[in-house]
Structure 1
Amino acid sequence: MLKEIVISIQSWGEAHRFIIQHKLWKWVLIPGLIYAALFVTGMYFFGKSATVVIEYITHFLHLGDWSQKLHSNILSFLFTTSGVILWLTLLLFYFSFFKYICLIIGSPIFAYISRKTESIIHSNEVAPGWSDIKKEAGRSITIALRNCGWQTVYLVTLILLSLIPLIGWITPLIALLMEAYYYGFSMLDYSLARNNNSKSQSIHFIGRHKGLALANGILFYMMHLLIVFAPAYAIISATLTINKVKVKTPA
């Protein structure tokens, strides 16, 4: 897995040089601005709703009453910390749904960017056709819905674990790694689909090469410091990654 993580990290650096060399800034900014607008709007509504959810859970479980009755500073600290952990886990739970909405809405643009990247790699001057883009976008949506279902099951479990003091403190890290993996999964699948891998073959391939998906997703999250660039860099680096490994490792 470490070798795959290194390959994925290198591809992000190559993606930056690739974008500059082939003047792809338009295809960086278009999905980036849309993503940034959705992200800011979504975070606003999350901030409004997350506090209400935490207050409801606290009231439903009577955690505040227990803390006051026991008069324990340690328990108060544990409950307060658990509240913070729950907030972080809810943030990632929300972000997972936001991410899938963006993947579904942006699937035609992502398919176009991935296909254009590969056409440049292979010196193919023919512009990507709409029928092919439509097919890849449709498949991307089904993969996104499949991953959303599985991730929801895992995240609900993590939310319940986050309520347990000490044990639940690691749940935000697990949720973050899961988020990164499934996002990278979606980015890699565009290239795998174009190389005649069925959905089951793509799932099997990425299952055997988790490091490629994980590193792509982690770097995508790190790019949120420059949020406008994150989506395009993720899809271009994923395309470059698959073009590196597909010859070496059969799907």
Structure 2
Amino acid sequence: MKRFFRHLFLGYKSYGSAIQMVIDHRLYIYFLIPCILMIGIHYLGVWVVNQQQSPAIDTVRTMNDMVWYAISQHSLDIVGTVVSKSSKYLVVILLSPLFAFVSERIEEILTANRYPFNFKQTVKDVKRGVRIALRNVMWEYFFLIVVIGLTSFLDGGIKTALFFSLPLLIGFYYYGFSFLDYINERRRLNIEQSIYFIRKHRGVAMAIGSIYSLLFLLPIDFREMMDFKDFDNYPWQTIIDFVINFIFWILISAAPVLAIIAATIAMHETVDLSNNEYAIKSTDENNDPENGAVFEDKL
């Protein structure tokens, strides 16, 4: 338990270091893509809702129309579920190439390690990131079903508290897992080895995943943020609504980038990434290793 809390503290401390690194090295450009993605996910959700509420059923005249209508509505239900219930994993999947790049950049700043661009390796990294995210979302929903089963025997406030808190804590671990695995992949740990490593460092995973997850709970309404039609009548309220939603937008967009930076910093504190024999040093680019080793744990 003492080890768990030590790792938990390391994960939270790494977020402070991540913010400082962003400021010191002016890494703001990496937040641009998540900012755009958040807008896209929001309006995708709005479009799905509008499509589900449209009276398309009134246009159904034949059996063929009925079949296609059923297929389209089922597809919308699936998309809606993914957008509303799994948006955090959707971000992890869609931003996999960015996470791999940012993590390598942070490791270079910390250790002078470099990983020359290799298209095949990049594709492999992205595939692994997607595979890990899909694995984690499946396990998270499995435990959600377990929680639903266990809490079904309870009643009142205890049931509500457990139903909200337990899935949230489980999600912390699996979100953090997704970010830490990018660094484990560069250490050439296979998925089974990565699972074992992160289980031993679940405190780090939960700390990384908790900040990322909690920031996504911030309520944001882009339509309200950009709605100035009542500005003449309610100027201050309009400005306040804009500022609040704008701040939430920036915080939510910053969450995934800060998470991957914090994960890289925490991993360096844990295993000393400067010893990664798969990397080449910026000061010795002619030394291109082909083999490496699993590093000994410092913590």
Q: Which has the higher contact order (CA 8 A, sep 6+)?
A: 1
* Cross-structure match for 1:235: 260
| 1:143 correspondence with 2:100 | no
| 1:12 correspondence with 2:15 | yes
Distance 1:133 1:119, change over 3 A: farther
Contact 1:8 1:215 in 2 (8 A): yes
Unpaired segments ≥5 residues, structure 2: 53-80, 217-247, 273-295
**What is the CA distance between 1:43 and its match in structure 2?**
8.0
Alignment map for 1:192-207 (pairs within 5 Å) = 192-207=184-199
* Cross-structure match for 2:172: 180
Select which of 240, 244, 248 maps to 2:269: 244
Identity %: 31
* Cross-structure match for 1:38: 41
Q: Distance in 1 between matches of 2:115 and 2:181?
A: 22
Q: Distance in 2 between matches of 1:233 and 1:157?
A: 31
**What is the CA distance between 1:19 and its match in structure 2?**
0.9
| 1:104 correspondence with 2:93 | yes
Q: Distance in 2 between matches of 1:96 and 1:243?
A: 32
* Cross-structure match for 1:171: 163
Q: Distance in 2 between matches of 1:235 and 1:95?
A: 23
| 1:218 correspondence with 2:207 | no
Alignment map for 1:72-111 (pairs within 5 Å) = 97-111=86-100
Q: Secondary structure at the match of 1:165?
A: coil
Distance 1:45 1:165, change over 3 A: farther
**What is the CA distance between 1:28 and its match in structure 2?**
1.9
- The aligned amino acid for 2:167 is A
**Root-mean-square deviation (Å):** 2.9
- Give the greater-gyration-radius structure (CA): 2
- The aligned amino acid for 1:198 is N
Aligned length: 209
Contact 1:117 1:239 in 2 (8 A): yes
- The aligned amino acid for 1:229 is A
- Please report the TM-score for the alignment, with normalisation by the length of structure 2: 0.62
Larger helix percent:
1
Q: Distance in 2 between matches of 1:44 and 1:179?
A: 27
